[in-house]
Amino acid sequence: MFGLERADARSVSRVEDFLREQTGEAVVLDPVHLATGLLGNAVAALARARAITLGPLICVRRSEHEPQKSPEVRVALERFGSLFVHECVHVWQYRRDGAMTFLRHYMKAYFSGIWIAGSIRRAGRQSAYLAIPAEIEAFRLEQVWQQGAEVIARREAARGVEPEVRT
């Protein structure tokens, strides 16, 4: 009913390896929990986000505009693709910086961005969100992940191999 589950170890391990490779830092994510039912939908909707990370908990919002993966698919990378990578970056940031420090820096950057934008309207909030250093880092790493997935898919297609899911 609430859709609370632990993310599969293989997906978490793949993202940990990717983050270590990209950052050169020690990265420990496990355990990562996913809230995909009522809880995840409510928390993400309240935040007006596709997903929101609170420590090791990733709350995912259902959207009628996105293709729905079957909840029977238990591989997080198959269900959520690069969104899972983006949110795992936040799990790592929470652990790396400590929850209170992470939240203080995140909220300070967000509200400073709104102040600079001079507006709490949607455009001002979006501008502030995109200027948060934690989001810049998460979007950059998500983009690197996506580019790697595209390269792998092209390589495997050229060889006639069924591509491994890395969306």
What tens digit of pLDDT does each residue of 54-74 get? 999 999 987 654 455 555 556
> Does residue 1 have a pLDDT over 60?
no
Q: Any residues with CB less than 8 A from the CB of 141 and at least 6 apart, and which?
A: 18, 19, 22, 23, 85, 86, 89
Confirm whether 122 is domain-assigned: yes
Confirm whether 166 is domain-assigned: no
| Domain around 109 | 4-159
Please report the pLDDT score of residue 71 as a whole number. 54
> Does residue 41 have a pLDDT over 80?
yes
Domain count, the chain: 1
Q: Structure pTM?
A: 0.85
Confirm whether 167 is domain-assigned: no
Confirm whether 113 is domain-assigned: yes
